[in-house]
Amino acid sequence: MDLRLLSSFLAVVEEGHFGRAAARLFLSPPAVTQHVRRLETDLGTRLLHRTPVSPTPAGERLARHARTLLAAADAALDDVAEADPAPASAAGRPLRVGIMGHGSAELTPASVNAFRRARPHVAVELRQLDFTEHVSALVEDRVDVAFVRPSPDDDRITSDVLTTEQRIVVVPESSALADARGTGARLADIADLPFFRVPGRTPRSFTEYLYFGSTARRRSTDFALTPQEVLTGVVTGRAAGSGLKSFARYYAWPGAVFVPVLDAPRDSSYLAVRTADRNPEVQIFRALTLALAKELGPRISE
């Protein structure tokens, strides 16, 4: 039996409301509804009365078993962790979560909060990463997991796709390209934009992502290491930036205009971890994030 379905069902029983259960689980209400329906189909019986929301006799019995099964699953995770403990250097320390820019949009806080609920005894530290760190922060053991883009090109790092989105450019309102905010532009239209520069130590995969794969694009005299520095350059008319579509929801600065690039390949955000890391908390965080990505990722990618 799928434990995710049981978790959604039990949340609805305990909250007495599909919407509150969805908020508690950081899922959409339709996803929770679908989980309950799948359980009812699998078991061949109705588990919940809908108006008002309350368990049927069969649902009451399942709720008792669900609590036992979910508790057993948590105990199994703890037991496995004890049998194959993390290296001494990782034992007892916080889980350090690196976030580049806005990470994977709404999925980032949902993953962090889901981990905190699942592992309340493990402290979590959030660390902001700049454009040069999407490989080095993990390799140098400054973070344990990282929300980055694009995928790090390094055998020491394993990454999973979380969201896949349309690409955008960011220009000042005074730019002629600003009029294309509603209709979109093409790669040929952005060839002469003065894109900001990044330091020489920035991984090549990241610079190719920033400049849409063309190192020949015109560069501003301004350097930037963070989205805030990019936007400062944009609104003062000194540089242009690029990103994923969700960037616009998180960095809606006055004076900055976000223009879709219609013929640029869609790109992704990733969760990256050290390939050889045996820390069970890292594996739990990764599993929770991938499960949430299946639920939230398609909505973010629209």
Residue 18: give its domain's CATH number: 1.10.10.10
Point out the domain boundary residue: 18, 48, 83. Answer: 83
pLDDT tier at 27, thresholds 50, 70, 90: confident
DSSP code for 2: -
With 0.75 as the threshold, say if the pTM is over it.
no
Whether residue 186 is found in the same domain as residue 251: yes
Residue 225: per-residue pLDDT: 93
CB atoms within 10 A of CB 255: 13
Whether residue 259 is found in the same domain as residue 294: no
Whether residue 133 is found in the same domain as residue 147: yes
Residue with tokens 């594996």: 283
Residue 90 resides in a domain: no
Cβ partners under 8 Å of residue 132, min gap 6? 198, 199, 201, 202, 203, 206, 225
Residue 222 resides in a domain: yes
Residue 88 resides in a domain: no
Calculate the alpha carbon distances from 200 to 100, 241, 298 in Å. 18, 17, 35
How many residues are there in the chain? 302
What average pLDDT does the segment 235-253 reach?
93
Whether residue 181 is found in the same domain as residue 212: yes
How are beta strands 157-165 and 219-223 bridged, if at all? Answer: unpaired
Give the residue with greater pLDDT, 215 vs 301.
301
For residue 224, pLDDT beyond 50:
yes
Whether residue 193 is found in the same domain as residue 219: yes
Quote the tokens at residue 108. Answer: 């980032």
Residue 268: per-residue pLDDT: 96
Whether residue 178 is found in the same domain as residue 296: no
Whether residue 152 is found in the same domain as residue 281: yes
Residue 86: per-residue pLDDT: 53
57-116 pLDDT tens trace: 999 999 988 888 777 777 766 666 566 555 544 557 899 999 999 999 999 999 998 899
CATH code where residue 221 lies: 3.40.190.10
Provide the residue type at 74 as one letter: D
Whether residue 293 is found in the same domain as residue 150: yes
d(CA 240, CA 231): 8
Of the candidates 160, 111, 109, the one whose C-alpha atom is nearest the C-alpha of residue 268 is 160
pLDDT more than 70, % of the chain:
93
Point out the domain boundary residue: 29, 56, 83. Answer: 83
Whether residue 21 is found in the same domain as residue 78: yes
Helix H, strand E, coil C: the string for 53-116 is CEECHHHHHHHHHHHHHHHHHHHHHHHHHHHCCCCCCCCCCCEEEEEECCCCCCHHHHHHHHHH
Q: Which of 24-33, 190-199, 259-268 has the lowest mean pLDDT?
A: 24-33
For residue 11, pLDDT beyond 50:
yes
Point out the domain boundary residue: 21, 53, 83. Answer: 83
CB 269 within 8 A of CB 106: no
Range of the domain at 30: 3-83
Residue 150 resides in a domain: yes
Whether residue 10 is found in the same domain as residue 137: no
133-173 pLDDT tens trace: 989 999 999 999 999 999 999 999 999 999 999 999 999 99
Whether residue 182 is found in the same domain as residue 37: no
Residue 217 resides in a domain: yes
Please state the domain count of the chain.
3
d(CA 69, CA 71): 5
CB 289 within 8 A of CB 98: no
Whether residue 234 is found in the same domain as residue 283: no
